[in-house]
Amino acid sequence: MAEYKAPLRDMQFMLNDVLELEKHYQSLPGCEEATPDMVSAILEEGAKFAERVLSPLNQVGDQQGCQFNEGEVTTPDGFAEAYQAFVEGGWPSLAHDPEWGGQGLPESLGIFINEMVGSANWSWSMYPGLSHGAMNTLEAHGTQEQKQTYLTKLVSGEWTGTMCLTEAHCGTDLGMLRTKAEPADDGSYRISGTKIFISAGEHDLAGNIVHIVLARLPDAPAGTKGISLFIVPKFLPDAEGNVGERNAVSCGSIEHKMGIHGNATCVMNFDNATGYLIGPANKGLNCMFTFMNTARIGTALQGLSHTEWGFQNSLAYARDRLQMRALSGPKNPDKAADPIIVHPAVRSMLLTQKAFAEGGRALIYFAAQQVDRSKLAETPEEKQEAEDLLSLLTPIAKAFLTETGLESASHGVQVFGGHGYIAEWGMEQNLRDARIATIYEGTTQVQALDLLGRKVLMSQGELLKRFTKIIHKFCQSQADNEPMQPFVSALSRLNKEWGDLTLQIGMKAMKNREEVGAASVEYLMYSGYITLAWLWARQAEVAMRKLAENPSDADFYHAKLKTARFYFERLLPRTRTLAEVMLSGADNLMELDSEHFAF
Amino acid sequence: MAEYKAPLRDMQFMLNDVLELEKHYQSLPGCEEATPDMVSAILEEGAKFAERVLSPLNQVGDQQGCQFNEGEVTTPDGFAEAYQAFVEGGWPSLAHDPEWGGQGLPESLGIFINEMVGSANWSWSMYPGLSHGAMNTLEAHGTQEQKQTYLTKLVSGEWTGTMCLTEAHCGTDLGMLRTKAEPADDGSYRISGTKIFISAGEHDLAGNIVHIVLARLPDAPAGTKGISLFIVPKFLPDAEGNVGERNAVSCGSIEHKMGIHGNATCVMNFDNATGYLIGPANKGLNCMFTFMNTARIGTALQGLSHTEWGFQNSLAYARDRLQMRALSGPKNPDKAADPIIVHPAVRSMLLTQKAFAEGGRALIYFAAQQVDRSKLAETPEEKQEAEDLLSLLTPIAKAFLTETGLESASHGVQVFGGHGYIAEWGMEQNLRDARIATIYEGTTQVQALDLLGRKVLMSQGELLKRFTKIIHKFCQSQADNEPMQPFVSALSRLNKEWGDLTLQIGMKAMKNREEVGAASVEYLMYSGYITLAWLWARQAEVAMRKLAENPSDADFYHAKLKTARFYFERLLPRTRTLAEVMLSGADNLMELDSEHFAF
């Protein structure tokens, strides 16, 4: 019953009008061929694939889940065929280097496609998503030979990849990991240990699986400074680079979990498996962090995906379901009742989802532009500027969009009433699937510490200032734009407050480090609301400009203005609570002895 | 792995110290035998049953779910035996009239027991919970003969009951229901129609099931004024009142749903089934509303149950799980890492759960006292006063505690990190189970309209004033209590604001009815935060008094004070956002045409 339709109209609005992607691509060497027409054609093809191939498999994937049998994992019906079609369509290679078989298109384009793929079927999208992580690792740190052997197969989609980080006793705290790598005589390593929560660790979609594994060399220092990265393929490549001998890595079991049933979450056992060092010894964690930003944008996308999916389906239901009359009198007098979309409380849930979906899209696309710029901009200064902006926005995007994704998915269920709780409608699956996103790739709490502690305070507020300056400039540019004033005045006030709050917390943190942790989650969410306010104000500004041209699709732009108003009047006030709580200090959290939480 | 321990210490604190239950019971005719010792003994027995019999079946119930086979429903392993033990323990009869085999204890005592039963295993608790609804209907509206035939069997627990309201096309809007009741020659009726979402509609726990069914007589007026109530037993009683002939009511299927898998949610087909009218014709909905308050307190309990369960289990994990170091330096230097309870963001999630659990307990117990008073107080005035207070507090308790229950259950998952998403720990089940509570028995949105529209505005603010007066008196009584001032000043300011906000919304609503709906959900949540603030201030006041006596368990009272502080400094500020949003008006919700939500 549930379905997904790619929001191409809104995507085009973001790309062409708000973020001026044509100008963006023209400014980056090597991206000139990503013309609006070409981008449009690619998006339309991606939309077809997402809507026709992946969306119909979303509920099947949840109901069947993955099956485990003696080390083998069978994915749900249709998953393998869809992956084959994905490979044949050339999608895995889209944004990769032609040297390894890629199409050399900008990374951002891959992200726009991933939005549709992920919204249509998040569980399925994780298989190529994890490959992408492995490809990034190899691309950044692999030797030429390693790239030739593994990267080309991943880029073509013939093989898939994984990232093997977590162990039973350590997830966030990777410094504690125990998996060992013993050097062998031939320059390879023997990897031993057990990894858990390995997404796509085993499956039947592709001929080989390339595991990127964090492990410790025998002489490695303790903690995070003694971790190295290894390639451990499921099948060792033979002399021709094809699938050869089976390696001593196997899937011990798969987890029974709340959602994302279509993706296999594996316990992976490495039993003296052959592995190859990537990058310098003991620098594995640093190597991983070089592309953590991109990986986290990938998870931020999950928040957007569930928001968009829930919005589309609950909107359809709210227009269709007849129940009660509008408080101001019947809107549908010929029928037994009005559609529930007449009720303000239902509208509030729909508009919340809509505002988070379209605001979140703008945030992810803006971040995607920074990914492009950080890689391809003309000068090192521009690259660094994009990198800095990205490093500030990444924890915000990851945590804020997955938290609002969870909230939105829950609203989607609520709009359906009792039917939302029933499996057949798909709404409860959307909520179950969404629940993991605030946890993996660094929990909201970890992102919050990263933002406030590492990014903002450790840079003495410098990284933040660069962003607030962008917002400030936007507000200045609108000083004479009368209809924009309701947006601009609120935004500009908050932008100033953001700096003030940061200063106050920074001062407190100098006396007590716990103040950082105590303020961090509220600080992050506050930052998210301002960031989206800026992006909604930008959308409003564009909509006003477009409306002045009397376009035939004026309704679209009016809807943008009304949604922007909703965002500013009903979501942005959440900053009031967040500001008050983040200043309330650490004592109210720290003073209760851990033994006295319950009696 | 997960388990439940009845929070007897906190329950006793609420009962004996905060709500002075001894005084309460002594003031009610017929409740004198509910002495503190007796109450204590009953609670301890209830705790044993909940911890030893029901808690171990909670995860089993989720994993196995109910099985449907040709009209029969099999409950999970152990459910039937547990029900047998429940009946043998005399629990169903606890708070019912001795005339029908009850023990005549006050209703409130039943609610305290239900907290433990529901927290240990919500799905299981719904079987006796639905019986309770059927018993209340029969007690209030049945004839002597109907009570003799059905109520006695329900009170003994030999039979169970259901409430059959919802149909596929109507849940909230019961005026649309279509199930028909045709009079038969013998004074009975022939009931035909299909009901959905019937909890405990079919199962293997008891010998007979007594359905209370809403249906329409042939000449009934349209809408809610043409609904009547019928008894439709699964088996018609024979001449001796035992199980006789099978009636033409059957379970067509059970729903596959997000959670509460251990409870059968049934499609019930009535195919000219024999039914008996209860109460006056066409007054069925009024009859139901006479005890809706009690039923909704029952669902409010679900919010508390999942909050308490999630709190207990995530607290245990947070003390045990070693990961990272405290920002202010190692707290556990001998081990590889500190327990995660050292981190402020983890503490925040634990304290949120704790504050909602203990505040929610106080609210439910206070409401339970009003249930007693509304039935048993000496004078009609006192009864009415309790009834009024209850009718104001019921939508708050139902919606606020189920919303905070959902939030708390989600925090419980988050504290566990990735492990929270895995079935074996039980945290994700707790969240799935919690998700239904904001929907059934009237959604949060319906409760919000009931509170603001029907209770507050339709009484011209009178019902609200009676409650704010109670809060005001409490604040006045603490005027000279210096250490209480941080609590009292905030509470007293909000209490005044509550009235002001109500007035402003009331004025706007006179011009535009949609303003009520547009403000209602925020108004309800705001009301909930103030109500809990009052109850937390009361707990703090008692704790201070107790501490002055230098008790041996001073830690318990100190923890109360610290949790009260946490509540006032970190949860109560949510009223800032709610107040601003509820005043933002209906336009930002209503101006977008329903055709223009998406393009």
Considering the domain architecture, whether residues B461 and B568 belong to the same structural domain is answered as yes
Count Cβ neighbours within 10 Å for each residue of B6-35 and write b for 16 or more, e otherwise.
Answer: bbeebbebbbebbbebeebbebbeebeebe
Provide, as residue numbers in chain A, all residues whose Cβ is less than 8 Å from the Cβ of B595: 555
Output the domain CATH number for residue A373: 1.20.140.10
Provide, as residue numbers in chain A, all residues whose Cβ is less than 8 Å from the Cβ of B7: 598
Taking the CA of residue A581 and the nearest CA in chain B, the distance in Å comes to: 5
Split into its structural domains, chain A has a count of 2
**Residue B41 burial by Cβ neighbours in a 10 Å radius (0-12, 13-18, 19+):** exposed
**Phi/psi of residue B217, nearest 5 degrees:** -75, 160
Cβ-defined contact of A594 to B342 (cutoff 8 Å): yes
* B228 contact partners, CB below 8 Å, separation of at least 6: B181, B214, B215, B216, B217, B220, B277, B279, B280, B281, B282, B283, B284
CB B314 within 8 A of CB B1: no
- Residue A233 three-state SS: strand
Provide, as residue numbers in chain B, all residues whose Cβ is less than 8 Å from the Cβ of A595: 555
CA dihedral B257, B349, A264, A170 (to 10 degrees): -160
DSSP for A305-355, please give it: HHHHHHHHHHHHHHHH-B-S--TTS-SSTTSSS-BGGGSHHHHHHHHHHHH
B223 within domain boundaries: no
| Residue A573 burial (CB count, 10 A) | 22
Considering the domain architecture, whether residues B335 and B394 belong to the same structural domain is answered as yes
| Portion 98-127 of B in contact with A at CB < 8 A | none
CA dihedral A254, A256, A262, A263 (to 10 degrees): -50
Rg of chain B over Cα atoms, rounded to whole angstroms, equals 24
CA distances from B503 to B460, B467, B583 (A): 9, 15, 11
Among the listed residues B560, B30, B185, the one whose alpha carbon sits nearest the alpha carbon of residue A591 = B560
- Residue B58 three-state SS: helix
Cβ-defined contact of B417 to A172 (cutoff 8 Å): yes
Among the listed residues B4, B25, B263, the one whose alpha carbon sits nearest the alpha carbon of residue B115 = B4
Considering the domain architecture, whether residues A351 and A477 belong to the same structural domain is answered as no
CA distances from B594 to A6, A25, A326, A340, B282 (A): 20, 36, 13, 10, 36
Cβ-defined contact of A322 to B592 (cutoff 8 Å): no
| Among candidate residues B411, B442, B473, the one where a domain is terminated | B442
| Among candidate residues A442, A462, A492, the one where a domain is terminated | A442
Task: List the single residue in A with minimal CA-CA distance to B312.
Answer: A598
* B454 contact partners, CB below 8 Å, separation of at least 6: none
Maximum Cα–Cα distance for chain B, whole Å? 83
Tell me the count of A-B CB pairs closer than 8 A: 289
Considering the domain architecture, whether residues A430 and A480 belong to the same structural domain is answered as no
| Torsion sign across C-alpha atoms B432, A436, B312, B11 | negative
Considering the domain architecture, whether residues A371 and A438 belong to the same structural domain is answered as yes
A261 touches chain B (CB under 8 A): no
Query: How is residue A232 annotated by DSSP?
Result: E
Structure tokens at B177: 């229901």
| Among candidate residues B405, B421, B442, the one where a domain is terminated | B442
Among the listed residues B163, B161, B171, B211, the one whose alpha carbon sits nearest the alpha carbon of residue B191 = B211
| Residue A98 burial (CB count, 10 A) | 12
Tokens 């006192």, residue? B382
> How far is it, in rounded angstroms, from Cα A148 to Cα A170?
33
Structure tokens at A38: 């070409």
Task: List the single residue in A with minimal CA-CA distance to B511.
Answer: A328
pLDDT confidence of residue B296: 87
> How far is it, in rounded angstroms, from Cα B334 to Cα A15?
54
> How far is it, in rounded angstroms, from Cα A9 to Cα A3?
17
Considering the domain architecture, whether residues B407 and B457 belong to the same structural domain is answered as no
Provide, as residue numbers in chain B, all residues whose Cβ is less than 8 Å from the Cβ of A575: 577
Considering the domain architecture, whether residues A357 and A493 belong to the same structural domain is answered as no
Considering the domain architecture, whether residues A421 and A305 belong to the same structural domain is answered as yes
Crossing angle of helices B514-548 and B344-376, in 10° steps, is 100
- pLDDT tens digits for A334-348? 999 999 999 999 999
B37 within domain boundaries: no
> How far is it, in rounded angstroms, from Cα B440 to Cα B451?
17
Structure tokens at B244: 């006789």
> How far is it, in rounded angstroms, from Cα A413 to Cα A427?
5
B167 within domain boundaries: no
Crossing angle of helices B292-320 and B427-434, in 10° steps, is 160
- Please tell me the number of Cα atoms within 13 Å of B223 on its side-chain side: 5
> How far is it, in rounded angstroms, from Cα A317 to Cα B336?
52
Structure tokens at A482: 């009368």
Crossing angle of helices A292-320 and A344-376, in 10° steps, is 150
A257 within domain boundaries: no
Provide the residue range defining the domain that includes A454.
Answer: 450-590
> How far is it, in rounded angstroms, from Cα A400 to Cα A417?
26
pLDDT confidence of residue B1: 66
Cβ-defined contact of B443 to A413 (cutoff 8 Å): no
Question: Which residue type occupies A196?
Answer: I
Structure tokens at B186: 């013998």
Structure tokens at A418: 């009792």
CB A251 within 8 A of CB A74: no
**Residue B500 burial by Cβ neighbours in a 10 Å radius (0-12, 13-18, 19+):** exposed
Question: Which of A253, A348, A450, A555 to probe the B interface (max B CBs under 10 A)?
Answer: A348
Structure tokens at B562: 């610290």
A85 within domain boundaries: no
* B136 contact partners, CB below 8 Å, separation of at least 6: B291, B294, B295
Structure tokens at A130: 């994890």
> How far is it, in rounded angstroms, from Cα A479 to Cα A488?
8
**Residue A228 burial by Cβ neighbours in a 10 Å radius (0-12, 13-18, 19+):** buried
B449 touches chain A (CB under 8 A): yes
ipTM, interface predicted TM-score of the complex: 0.98
Considering the domain architecture, whether residues B454 and B435 belong to the same structural domain is answered as no
Enzyme catalytic residues of B = 441
pLDDT confidence of residue B292: 75
Considering the domain architecture, whether residues A386 and A455 belong to the same structural domain is answered as no
| Portion 398-417 of A in contact with B at CB < 8 A | 406, 410, 413-414, 417
Cβ-defined contact of B597 to A432 (cutoff 8 Å): no
CA distances from B446 to A324, B346, B438 (A): 11, 33, 10
Calculate the CA B212 to chain-centre distance.
20
> How far is it, in rounded angstroms, from Cα A464 to Cα A466?
5
A455 within domain boundaries: yes
| Portion 500-529 of B in contact with A at CB < 8 A | 512-514, 516-518, 520-521
Considering the domain architecture, whether residues A431 and A546 belong to the same structural domain is answered as no
The ranges of chain A with pLDDT < 70 are: 1
A58 within domain boundaries: no
B108 within domain boundaries: no
Considering the domain architecture, whether residues B409 and B461 belong to the same structural domain is answered as no
pLDDT confidence of residue A1: 66
**H or E segment at A189?**
strand A189-199
Consecutive 10-residue runs of chain B (599 residues): their mean pLDDT? Answer: 93 96 93 92 98 98 98 98 98 96 95 98 97 93 97 98 95 94 98 98 98 97 96 97 97 98 98 98 89 83 98 98 94 94 98 98 97 95 96 97 98 98 98 98 97 97 97 98 98 98 97 97 98 98 97 97 98 98 98 97
> How far is it, in rounded angstroms, from Cα B416 to Cα B315?
10
DSSP for A380-441, please give it: HHHHHHHHHHHHHHHHHHHHHHHHHHHHHHHHHHHHTGGGGGBGGGSHHHHHHHHGGGGTSS
Structure tokens at B130: 């639905």
- Please tell me the number of Cα atoms within 13 Å of B573 on its side-chain side: 18
